[in-house]
Every structure is written in structure tokens, then in C-alpha cells.
Amino acid sequence: MIISRTPFRISFFGGGTDYPVWYKEHGGRVISSAIDKYCYVTLRELPPFFKYKHLLRYFEREEINSIDEIKHPSIRECLKFLDMNKNIELVHHADLPAQSGLGSSSTFTVGLLMAGYALNDQMRAKYQLAQDAIQVEQRLIGEAVGSQDQTAAAFGGFNRIKFGGYRELEVTPLTISTEKMINLQDHLMLFFTGFSRNASDIAQKQIEITRSKTTELDVMVELCKEAEDLLVSSENGFLEWGKLLSEQWKVKKSMTNLITTSKIDAMYDTGIKSGALGGKLLGAGGGGFILFFVPPDKQEQIKINLNTILHVPFRFDFSGSQIVYHSKNA
């Protein structure tokens, strides 16, 4: 039996520049971090006592005899990509709901590939694991997804990720002091606004309009550079970094009218009026999680004023996708 554990991620700056339609021509960059909320994939060889060859349990249950019969697109294409020739049982658990803006579908794909390689007695470096997940989602499934979620899930950590060029991906941990990293985490608050509309539908619309949004995407790249400079190089730019999140949010929601709603805007305004210095909705849009940058002395008031939605405490994750249990006898 194999169990993989793969972190979800928060994207701070640069989201939208990680779509291949953009970065293959212009280059892209994001600042993101994996967090201590995880997707777990349990994979083992299915004993030969059943009338079916494969048993899958996620939000549905599938009992099938051929990989081609699998309804779940990521499971089907991952197992084909892995050239899996074993009868398998798969179980999926997660700390957070799907379609919530934290890269859940890509986190699952990375975790499944990690577990599948282990079941096949193989290993993959983090870079190759991210590239494999990108290939499965973008090319084999044909999902409207970018390339940051798979990368953040595979690598873990608090990173600047650049897209484009010969290697396609370049992951650089942001080197800040432990004190500043802890201070940053202590200023971040995450709230669940409710389930989103299908993130892939919103992302598909963003991809379609990418070539007409050059100005906005160029601004996102520049905001990402500015945010990195404020955090890494400046001793006095910490609070300005938080305010910059709101600039990123303004640009992002100007891309298409699918990204925000009046309900989300009201939550955001409440957070800012209650003391948050900045914030943004995470993921493609339409719902999911909203992130605020809040001085610690203002956080209790924000929780009171946003008491109709769920506050989700978190810390950064630095391990990335990994195998947490491996036994050939289970």
C-alpha cells in the first residue's frame, strides 16, 4: 500500500501569467506557497477476489475492469500515463473541498502520479513530477489549467516560479529570514466564501481572452516583481507587500466579469473596512477562498465581522508531494 500526501497552494501574485498561451510567448511568473492542508491518495494492488479489476473511491465509487472505462479523467489519464498494468484500488481524501481556488485538481493529479510511481517501484524528481502532471492535465485531459498549481504541489515551499524558456519551469525559494516568514504567516487570514462555479469554465474564458489582455497580464508580472523586491530586499516594505495584494486583485477581476460576484465583493469590502491592509480571491474566481493580509491586532475584529463564513487557519508547507506510507505487504 502506498499513501501520498500533497499540499494545496495559495497564489499571491502573477496568477494568469502561468497559462501556456501566455508564457510561451511572453514568459510568466508567480509568487505562491504550499500550505499545510493536504490531499491524500491511497493506492494498492487490488486482491484478485472481486468481479472487477479496479476499485476507485473518491466522491464517487467506480468498479471497473478496464482503465479506459474510468470516468474520472485525471485517474484515467494518470494510470494510462504511468502504463499501470496492475489491478488497483484507489482512495482519495482531502482536507479542503474541490473547486475552491487552492489548486485542488492539480494537487490530486500530482499526488496520484507520486503514488503511482511508488507502486511501480519508480521515483521522480520534483521538477519531473510537476512536468508530468502538467502534461496529463493540459495535453492528455485537455483541461483549461495553468502550470503553477502542479508546480507548487510538487515542490512545496514559498517560491517565485518563472514560466517559459528552455526548461519551461524555474522554481526559486524566496530567501527571507525565519522571523520575516513567521511574521508573514501571522498576517495572513484565509476564509471560505462558499463553493465556486466550475473553475475550469472560468479559466477557459480567461484563456480565450488572454491575447486581448496583454496590458493587464504585463501589470501582473510587474506586480509580482515588485512584491518579490518588497519582501526580499526591503526592510520596510512588509506592510506594502500586503497592500499590493489588493492591486493584484483589482487587475485580476478586471479580466472578466466571471471572476467576482456581488457577494464576494461585499465580503472583501467588509474585510478591508475591518482592518485588512489587502487581500484577494484565490483561484480562477466565482467563489472558494479569499485571503486577507491583516495586522494581528485587527484579526479578531475581522473574524467577528465575517462570522458567516469559515475562517481556516494555516501555515506554509515546505515538503511538497511525498510518500508518507509505503508497504508492499499491506
pTM: 0.95
Shared domain for 265 and 140, answered yes or no, is: no
Shared domain for 269 and 299, answered yes or no, is: yes
User: What is the grid cell recorded at 35?
Assistant: 500550505
What CATH number does residue 190 fall under?
Answer: 3.30.70.890
Residue 330 is given by DSSP the state -
Q: Of 40, 49, 36, 41, nearest to 8 (Cα)?
A: 36
pLDDT at position 251 is 92
Shared domain for 18 and 145, answered yes or no, is: yes
Shared domain for 145 and 196, answered yes or no, is: no
pLDDT at position 268 is 95
d(CA 100, CA 98): 5
* Residue 228 host element (H or E): helix 214-232
Shared domain for 93 and 219, answered yes or no, is: no
What's the domain range around 116? 2-174+317-326
Shared domain for 162 and 197, answered yes or no, is: no
pLDDT at position 53 is 96
pLDDT at position 196 is 61
pLDDT at position 197 is 56
Q: Of 153, 170, 113, 130, nearest to 33 (Cα)?
A: 153
Shared domain for 189 and 144, answered yes or no, is: no
Query: How many domains, in total, are found in the chain?
Result: 2
Shared domain for 55 and 86, answered yes or no, is: yes
pLDDT at position 254 is 86
Shared domain for 151 and 24, answered yes or no, is: yes
Shared domain for 188 and 93, answered yes or no, is: no
Contacts of 198 (CB under 8 A, 6+ apart): 99
Shared domain for 60 and 147, answered yes or no, is: yes
What CATH number does residue 55 fall under?
Answer: 3.30.230.10
Q: Is 288 left (phi over 0), alpha (psi -120 to 50) or beta?
A: left
Which residues of the chain register pLDDT less than 50? none
In the three-class reduction of DSSP (H, G, I as helix; E, B as strand; rest coil), residue 67 is classed as: helix
- Beta pairing, strands 158-163 & 61-64: unpaired
Shared domain for 53 and 167, answered yes or no, is: yes
